[in-house]
Amino acid sequence: MSTWRGYLADLRVVLSGNVGVMAVSWFLFALSSAMVMPFFSLYARNLGASDIEISIMRSLGFIALAIFLPVGGILTDLWGRVRPIVMGTFMVAVVQFFYAVVPDWRYLTAVVVVDNASHFYQPALTAILMDSMPRDKTMKGFMILNAFSSLPWLFMPVVGGVLYDIYGTLGIRIGFLISGVISIVVAFLRIKALRETYSSHSKDLSGIVLELAGYRPVLNKAVKFYVYTAIFNQLTVGVINTFGAIYAVNRLGMNAFDWGVATTLGSASSILASLILSAKMSLHDKKTMLASSSLIALAQLFYAIPYFNRAAIPLVYLATIISSIGGAIVGSSISSILTHVLPTELRGRATGIQRTLETLGSALASYVAGLMYAYIGPFISFIVSFTMGVVSTIYLAYII
């Protein structure tokens, strides 16, 4: 009982101030994104996009994000954290309404590109969390934050699945309209409640950029983890992230409601695992990290099996559950490690580098997934993903 009293006390500490504001805003964002994003590939398909065109669409969006993330990282260490966050949030809010009214996949591609570019402020989000997180509770804090902001994924994918099954494309358009309204609310919340955590001593742009050379040893340590998150892990989950809904509905014969349930189960498992482990772990644990990375790999194999044996469709649910658990734990662990590695004055630029590499990795993974899915089929694509997951885990074992 005393352990859980201590946990609740930690929960109040972690979710106070800026971290609490981010938890609430991400919760609100998730209410809409959990309703539409599991079905985004179906939306693109209904607007006329082929499998290859869907992968190209995603890749172009990631490339746009990669171009603007370094700018966001520099601005984070030049202007502070709050100003880029507010600017970007308003831009994202406006874009949601365009998602709802695009007439075909070409216009959708343009909106995807603008939307991704509008997320240039991601380094500021990460930096303000690192600045505001209690240093002795970073692992616990990131896991609690992940759990709280994932709560809408417990029920909204099912709502989105019902909307799609009943209204088809119109159901997703309604979801994006709701997303626009929620995003505006989030923007005003962040204006009112976020508190600045950093002010640069040097307002000289060239100094901000050239200063990176002095942090080379720290960056070298961080880049080892960036390689995992940006390349190995992205290639592991590229197929399911790009074609999950299409694979479940069009290849396995599941309906959108079923895929929504699978997504919900994954979120519920992720939240439960995060809450349990956050009560027991104060810092990252190497064995837990490796086990979690292995779960992500194993999930790709489970996705493959039902392609030839429809009686094995329950494995889709299991795969989504274990992949979600693995992703939540590995992500929180790496965030905790980087919080301790990166000094405050470097966090914006370092996170900009991280997000840029991850975005380029996502673009590559999406395009490779499209080629594999179209030309060698879903089964072999997931087998390749499983193999990449094994390689990813071996690499993670090496760097930690």
Q: What is the 3-state secondary structure (H, E, C) of 43-105?
A: HHHHCCCCHHHHHHHHHHHHHHHHHHHHHHHHHHHHHCCHHHHHHHHHHHHHHHHHHHHCCCH
Cα-Cα-Cα-Cα dihedral of 349, 351, 355, 357, to 10°?
70
Structure tokens at 192: 């009112």
Confidence label for 276 from pLDDT (cuts 50, 70 and 90):
confident
Please give the C-alpha separations between residue 103 and each of 22, 41, 369, 383, in angstroms, as whole numbers: 34, 15, 26, 36
3-state secondary structure of 295: helix
The residue count for the chain: 400
Report whether 277 contacts 331 (CB < 8 A): no
Contacts of 23 (CB under 8 A, 6+ apart): 15, 145, 148, 149
206-214 contacts: CB < 8 A, separation 24 or more? 208/74, 208/77, 208/78, 208/349, 209/74, 212/346, 212/349
pLDDT for res 280:
63
Mean pLDDT of the chain: 86
Residues 51-101 pLDDT 10s: 889 989 988 998 898 889 888 888 888 888 899 999 999 999 999 999 999
pTM for the model stands at 0.73
Residues 137-196 pLDDT 10s: 677 777 777 777 888 888 888 888 888 888 889 999 999 999 999 999 999 999 999 999
Contacts of 194 (CB under 8 A, 6+ apart): 18, 21, 81, 82, 85, 86, 128
What's the average model confidence in pLDDT over 219-227? 90
Contacts of 39 (CB under 8 A, 6+ apart): 160, 161, 164, 172, 245, 256, 259
Query: In the chain, how many H helices and how many E strands?
Result: 18, 0
Please give the C-alpha separations between residue 190 and each of 74, 119, 122, 280, in angstroms, as whole numbers: 20, 15, 14, 31
Cα gap 322→237, rounded to integer Å: 13
| Start-end of H helices in 228-306 | 233-246, 256-278, 286-304
Residues 299-342 pLDDT 10s: 999 999 999 888 899 999 999 999 999 998 888 888 888 888 88
